[in-house]
Amino acid sequence: MIRLFVFLIAAAACAEQRGQKEFVQSCGFCHGEDATGSRAPDLVRSPLVNRDANGDLIAPVIRNGRPDQGMPALPLSDSTIQDIVAFLHLRVKQAASSSRVGGDYPIERLLTGNAEAGRAYFNGAGQCASCHSPTGDLAGVAKKYPPIFLEERFLSPRRGFVTLTVTTPSGEQITGRRDHLDEFTVSLRDASGWYHSWARNKVKVEIHDPLQAHRELLAKYTDADIHNLFAYLETLK
């Protein structure tokens, strides 16, 4: 079953590739090699292409052309036409998913900064070195994460645990990992793992957020700082 599925996906990918080749040769001159239009309309956002199911609308247009609008009929085989249909549907899908910025985002696009300037920022203005070390906790960090996630992680590490120290009216102090903190309630887990909660207005709360420096940097970074710092961190292989 899984094999059949993989086979089908591979077959579809082949059809799209063949379709792209054929499209570039037969259609690209007018519709653009990527089908986004040139002398003839953009097919990626064409209503006809978007409404097509398995070639029911596209195939007749390729076969018969649109002589009134200057498009010739193309003498292509049914299977070639189906390949072109597959390619056009792929292009529609690619446009609709163009908001994806995932783990495969190419490092070349991110590497516009200067690693030396990044190192200087790390040790200087960014004050990164007061918590981190390129030979300590950050040794090999560039190998651990895909580039785009490395950038997001240094900008905004989401996993640091906030610690709270609560002083009760009797003067007792309890420190533990934050469970919840809002205008009305504070709760934490103490060192032994037990849960405690209080009304916020009955106790004194001290917040120790290990990521506070990262938050403060968000308001200070220039884009160049970010690109330089990223270039530097990418050298830590």
Partner 1 sequence: MKANLARCAALCGSLAAALAQGLDPAALLKPPTDTWPTYNGDYTGRRYSPLRQINSSNIKSLTMAWAFQANADAIKSTPLEVNGILYFTVPEQVWAVDARTGRQVWHYRYRSEGGDHIGHRGVGMWGNWLYFETPDAHLISLDAKDGHVRWNIELADVKLGYFATMAPLIVGNHVIAGVSGDATDIPGFLESVDPETGKMQWRWYTEPKAGEPGSETWPKDSDAIGHGGGMTWMTGTYDPTLNLLYWGTGNPNPVLAGDARLGDNLYTCSIVALNPDTGKLAWYFQPSPHDTHDWDAVQTPVLFDADFGGKPRKLLAQASRNGFFFVLDRTNGEHLLTAPFTETNWTSGIDARGRPVALKEKEPHADGRLLLPGSDGATNWMAPSFDPGLGLFYVVARRVFSIFYYTATGKPEGWAGRDHNLYEESTIRAIDYRTGEIRWNHELGPGESVAGILTTAGNLLFTGDSQGNLLVLDPATGKTLWHVNAGGPMFSSPMSYELDGRQYVVEGVQGVLYAWALPE
Q: How far apart are the first and last CA of the chain?
A: 41
Nearer to partner 1, 19 or 147 (CB): 147
Of 74 and 92, nearer to partner 1 (C-beta) is 92
Counting every residue written for the chain, the total comes to 237
C-alpha distances (whole Å) from 133 to each of 127, 151, 209, 212, 224 are 11, 17, 19, 18, 21
Task: Say how many residues touch partner 1, by CB under 8 A.
Answer: 43
Least Å from the CB of residue 102 to partner 1: 10
CB burial class (10 A; 0-12, 13-18, 19+) of residue 103? exposed
Query: Per rule CB under 8 A, is residue 5 in the interface with partner 1?
Result: no
The 70-89 site mask, x for binding partner 1 (CB under 8 A), equals: --------------------
Distance CA 47, CA 225 (A): 44
Q: How far is the CB of 45 from partner 1 (least distance, A)?
A: 5
Among 13, 51, 233, 58, residue whose Cα is nearest residue 137: 233
Residue 54, Ramachandran bin (φ over 0: left; ψ between -120 and 50: alpha; else beta):
left
DSSP assignment letter at 206: E
Residue 112 CB, nearest approach to partner 1 (Å): 4
Span from 17-25, 76-84, 94-102, 163-171 in contact with partner 1 (CB under 8 A): 94-102
The nearest distance, CB 170 to partner 1, in angstroms, is 26
Single residue of 112, 168, 173, 197 touching partner 1 by CB under 8 A: 112
Nearest to 40 by CA among 50, 28, 30: 30
161 within 8 A of 178, measured Cβ to Cβ:
yes
Binding mask 174-213 for partner 1 (x = CB under 8 A): ------xxxxxx----------------------------
- Rounded CA-CA distance 64/71 in Å is 9
Question: Residues 79, 99, 135, 170: which binds partner 1 (CB under 8 A)?
Answer: 99
**Buried (b) or exposed (e) across 161-173, using 16+ Cβ within 10 A?**
eeebebeeeeeee
Residues within window 118-177 making contact with partner 1, judged by CB under 8 A: 148, 151-152, 155-156
Which stretches of the chain bind partner 1, using CB under 8 A? 32, 34, 36-37, 41-42, 44-45, 47, 50-51, 94-101, 105, 109-113, 148, 151-152, 155-156, 180-185, 215, 218-219, 221, 223, 226-227
